[in-house]
A and B are shown apart, each in its own frame.
Chain A
Amino acid sequence: MIMHQKNNPQHRNKLRTLTAAMLSVAIAAVSAQALAQQGSYKVPRTPDGHPDLQGVWANNSSTPLERPEFFGDRAQLTAAEFEELMRQADQIRASGGDALFGDGFLGAVISGEVRSYDPATGNYDAAWMVDRNLENRTSLIVDPPNGRIPPLTEQGQARARERASGRHSPTDTYLGRPLQERCITWGMPYIMAGYNSYYQIVQSRTAVAIIQEMIHDVRVIPLEPKPPLDERIELWHGDARGWWEGDTLVVQSRNFSDKSPFRGAGANRTFTERYTRIADDVLEYEFTVEDPTTWERPWTAVINYTASEDPIFEYACHEGNYALMGILSGARAAERAGLVPDAPIDQE
């Protein structure tokens, strides 16, 4: 992880704490309400008559991508379990210990222990963490029914082995560091919650912009028919085409590069997203990822994005990347001193 010169989340947290705190209390109620209202909620319209999805949206869900096996096929917590989750979450927050990003939150609640993901150099602490939206769901994955990523095909397993064996040593060169640390991309889709996980949607009649705060990436979604992009052009974030299905914006992306992996899938994936505003302050984000060369079947997840009142900040990642320079410089200094550097590498 990189600590950024000018875009310190602590600064953001000052601005967002109040809203986030209010949201996290309200979210359980909101989600339930939203679900109940799904039939009756009337999505606002743009002047062009399209459903209006515009605004800044936060992915701060505490629900893990994959369901802990412990829950089996059960997609929701019971009322008693949910109450217990909220109680333990308060405790973890109040302890002021390590920050928990991504799936770490529910993991800590279930196991009762905070797993430090970077014990070598020390963790980001709780000041870096926004309050998380607690939901009574057991996984973001809604299909397959066990809430888990389907098994890898043989081809997928072979590719994973090949990738692992071709990996650079973590400190011999910048190429050994993860793409996030090199400020190239946080992946497509970027679904980790709780760490600059903000998106802004801006719509015109003919195109939609989906801004991802991480590394100031904008995905341009054309809504008018366009010829498909030549298959020889492979992109970090794929090539998107969009259309409206009722009140839902559907975005389909192909032409991914093998350099841009997502949970083991590479160039062969088709990535389909569905954006539906189900309440004024909830944007339901559903994605299906399909790649018969990687998984035995497609899988689908749903994340409830919540409205944020704050703007997107400029995430000048590469421009302030003294961390990467420091890591490599430290490794060379360790070698000169006769020490073997032993920096762990962050996992995806």
Chain B
Amino acid sequence: MPNDQTSTGFATMARNLVLTAAATTLLTLAASAETYAQSSQVLTEVPRTAEGKPDFTGLWQALGSAHWNIEPSAAKAGPDWKLGAWGAIPATLGVVEGGPLPYTPEGLAKKKANEADWLALDPLVKCYMPGVPRANMLPFPFQIIQGTDNVVMAYEFASAMRIVYMDQPDFDGPVPAWMGHSRGHWEGDTLVIRVTDFMPYTWFDHAGNHHSDQLEVIERYTPAGPNMIMYEAEIRDPETYTRPWKMSFPLYRRMEANAQLLEFKCVEFAEELIYGYLRKDAPADRVPPRGMPFTIQELE
């Protein structure tokens, strides 16, 4: 934990959330006791592996609107009036610790350009892998499968995934990757993951907060009761920021008796956006996509 104030804040928040979760659990239990009895999924203490470590295996999801903007922001209109209230951007308290993000002047200029044109430039809109920590923040669940030597994180969004190599600090990433290269170890009950070898293309949110290929993320997963993880990510990127900074938010266990990872293989939902202009019968409003990680040479 970064400092005492935050720790206390976390502890209080954790306690409240555990209480709320407990109350919700009881209510749900009463409502569908039969279903729960069948699934025996209600946990009263932190599950542990045979080796005594917290077992994070399960389905997790962040709540809130920080995936729109990791910094505090009031609600605002969406990119298309036709989408009405559904397409508007909700308010968020933000998840960044401390004040405004410590961008370098160039980093800030790029952030502003990204934000002004986010729908065209945000890699998530094209169904590209979200990167870290954005993947943990999306309004989609992700599944952790915790083995001894490796921990797998399988994300519903874009079927993105990560393999966390445990206790192999010297294992360098074989290739730069959209989801980075993750090496983990335990510090007490906290799973600490160092993520490096990133592609420079992913963003942190829809508001255009970004990084370079120098990005290094130090993640900390700490159990706060059986059904919640306090998640913290320290961002180090000297090319984009003048100092390291942190964001933190809780991850909640999906409590539904039938909760499971489904598919959101979104490529098919982004193809018209990316390739629509190349259809033989392309309508006039289909234009070449912008913000692509590669270019092709168009023949005249």
Which residue numbers of A lie inside 8 Å of B, CB to CB? 5-7, 11, 15, 46-49, 54, 169, 171-175, 182-185, 200, 202-209, 211, 215-218, 220, 222, 224-227, 229, 233, 235-237, 239, 310-314, 316, 318-320, 322, 324-326, 328-333, 335
**Cα(A322)–Cα(B296), bound, Å:** 7
Q: How many residues of B contact A (CB 8 A)?
A: 60
CB pairs A–B below 8 angstroms (24 shown): A6-B176, A6-B177, A54-B147, A54-B149, A173-B280, A173-B281, A174-B271, A184-B267, A202-B151, A203-B147, A216-B160, A216-B179, A217-B161, A218-B161, A220-B143, A224-B39, A225-B38, A233-B262, A235-B263, A311-B165, A319-B129, A319-B199, A324-B275, A333-B299
Which listed residue (A47, A236, A332) contacts B51, Cβ 8 A?
A47
B128 touching A318, Cβ below 8 Å: yes
Tell me if A216 and B161 are in contact (CB < 8 A).
yes
Please indicate the chain A residues that have their CB under 8 angstroms from the CB of B287 in the complex: none
Majority DSSP secondary structure for residues of B touching A: loop
Q: Which residue among A182, A200, A328, A330 has the maximum number of chain B CB atoms within 10 Å of its CB? A: A328
Asked if B154 and A220 make an inter-chain contact with CB atoms under 8 angstroms apart, the answer reads yes
B-to-A contact residues, CB < 8 Å: 35, 38-40, 49-51, 55, 57-58, 127-129, 143, 145-152, 154, 158-161, 163, 165, 174-179, 199, 201, 257-258, 260-263, 265, 267-268, 271, 274-275, 278-281, 293-296, 298-300
List the count of A-B residue pairs having beta carbons below 8 Å apart: 169
Q: In the complex, how many angstroms separate the beta carbon of B140 from the nearest chain A beta carbon?
A: 14
Please indicate the chain A residues that have their CB under 8 angstroms from the CB of B265 in the complex: 184-185, 236
Shortest CB–CB separation between residue A200 and chain B, in angstroms?
Answer: 7
A310 vs chain B, min Cβ distance (A): 8
Given A173-B279, A174-B275, A236-B263, check contact A5 B294 (CB 8 Å): yes
Known: A7-B175, A311-B163. A208 touches B145 (CB 8 A): yes
Most buried by A among B55, B275, B296: B275
Q: How far is the CA of A316 from the CA of B151 in the complex (A)?
A: 20
- Select from chain B the residue with minimum beta-carbon distance to A49: B50
Closest to B164 in A: A202
Give B148's nearest chain A residue, CB to CB: A47
Known interface pairs A209-B152, A211-B152. Does A329 touch B145 (Cβ–Cβ under 8 Å)?
Answer: no
User: Considering the chains assembled together, what is the distance between the CA atoms of A218 and B160 in angstroms?
Assistant: 8
- Closest residue of chain A to B52, judged by CB? A47
Query: Nearest CB to that of B128 among chain A residues?
Result: A319
Please report the C-alpha to C-alpha distance between residue A232 and residue B261 in the assembled complex, in whole angstroms. Answer: 15
Give A222 to B159 CA distance when docked, in angstroms: 17
**Chain B residues within 8 Å of A328, by CB:** 275, 278-279
* Docked complex Cα distance between A174 and B199 (Å): 26
Does B174 lie within 8 Å of A313, measured CB to CB? yes
CB pair B261–A329 under 8 Å, yes or no, is no
Q: Which residues of B contact A185 (CB under 8 A)?
A: 265
A314's contact among B35, B148, B150, B177, by CB below 8 Å, is which?
B177
Q: State whether A226 touches B39 (Cβ < 8 A).
A: yes
CB neighbours (8 Å) of A316 from chain B are 129, 177-178, 199
A227 and B174 form a contact (CB under 8 A):
no
- Do A329 and B296 have beta carbons less than 8 Å apart? yes
| Beta-carbon contact of A235 and B262 below 8 Å | yes
Q: Is there contact, CB below 8 Å, between A47 and B50?
A: yes
B129 surroundings in chain A (CB, below 8 A) = 216, 316, 319
| Contact yes or no, A218 B159, CB < 8 A | yes
For the complex with contacts A311-B174, A318-B128, 9 further pairs of A-B residues with Cβ separation under 8 Å are A6-B175, A15-B174, A207-B143, A312-B163, A325-B296, A326-B296, A328-B279, A329-B298, A331-B278
